[in-house]
Structure 1
Amino acid sequence: MSLIRPMDPAFPIERQIALEASSVVLVNLFTLDPADEPVFLQAWQDDASFMKRQPGFISTQLHRALGDSPTYLNYAIWESNAHFRAAFTHPEFRASLAAYPSSAVASPHLFQKVAVPGICVA
């Protein structure tokens, strides 16, 4: 992958993974050249297969933007940030990033659910 661009430059993923938290959601926005979609999808599938085998993984889903924009949104749910950190820093996963097309830009960020009375639970 040619570039990781933080959603929040003041608090990039490298700082987020150092925190202790339970039940985290990774949101990752990808942009890429249209010609690179098949390579991107294969690389993402391979990474998702690796992540599914890791302790603490709950689920993932990939979404594609409507229309001609080759923009993808992935979210993955993990039991804890410690589990995500172990998978994200695993040498096998880090090496797999080279399989992404050079046009791919990823913007990963970690989130936790928020309780809003009468609307949603944490």
Structure 2
Amino acid sequence: MVGMAITFINRFTVNGKPEDFESAFTETAEFIRKQPGLVRYTLSRDLEDETRYVNVALWESAQALRDAVAHPDFKQHAAAMRALATSEGTVYAERLTFAGE
């Protein structure tokens, strides 16, 4: 379905200090926040393992997400994140809207 909102889920395991990862993620988040089509996102740290995080972002459409990732500046952000953490299977899911939302 064209234009359907999409949820992007990415899990990370940090290779070093969680503070370094959070700093790099903050820079990436500033970039992503400026991209058209981002509705909201959240980064959460695991309660039991401080090296594990999950990022959940809601985009207006899959095309908006593709456009953000295709932006020329995204590559340097992705490289900075890869230097500090491994990414565990990105998940994309269409978002269903229910009455009352």
TM-score where L is the length of structure 2: 0.83
* Stretch of structure 1 that moved more, 49-58 or 35-44: 35-44
Q: Which runs of 4+ in 1 moved over 4 A?
A: none
Aligned to 2:41: 60
Q: Is 1:31 the counterpart of 2:8 in the alignment?
A: no
> Match for residue 66 of structure 2?
85
Counting aligned pairs with the same residue, the percent is 30
What is residue 49 of structure 1 aligned with on the other side? 30
| Deviation (angstroms), 1:98 | 2.1
Alignment partner of 1:88: what SS? helix
Structure 2 unpaired stretches of 5+: none
Aligned residues of 1:39 and 1:100 also touching (Cα < 8 A): no
Aligned-residue CA RMSD in angstroms? 2.1
C-alpha distance in structure 2 between counterparts of 1:68 and 1:113, whole Å: 28
Do the aligned residues in 1 keep the contact of 2:21 with 2:84 (CA within 8 Å)?
no
Normalized against structure 1, the TM-score is what? 0.70
Q: Is the 8 A contact 2:39 2:58 kept in 1?
A: yes
CA distance in 1, matches of 2:20, 2:35: 23
Letter in 2 for 1:57: L
Distance of 2:85 and 2:2 partners within structure 1: 29
Structure 1 runs not aligned, ≥5 long: 1-18, 116-120
The AA in structure 2 aligned to 1:38 is E
Query: What is the alpha-carbon distance in structure 1 between the residues aligned to residue 39 and residue 84 of structure 2?
Result: 29
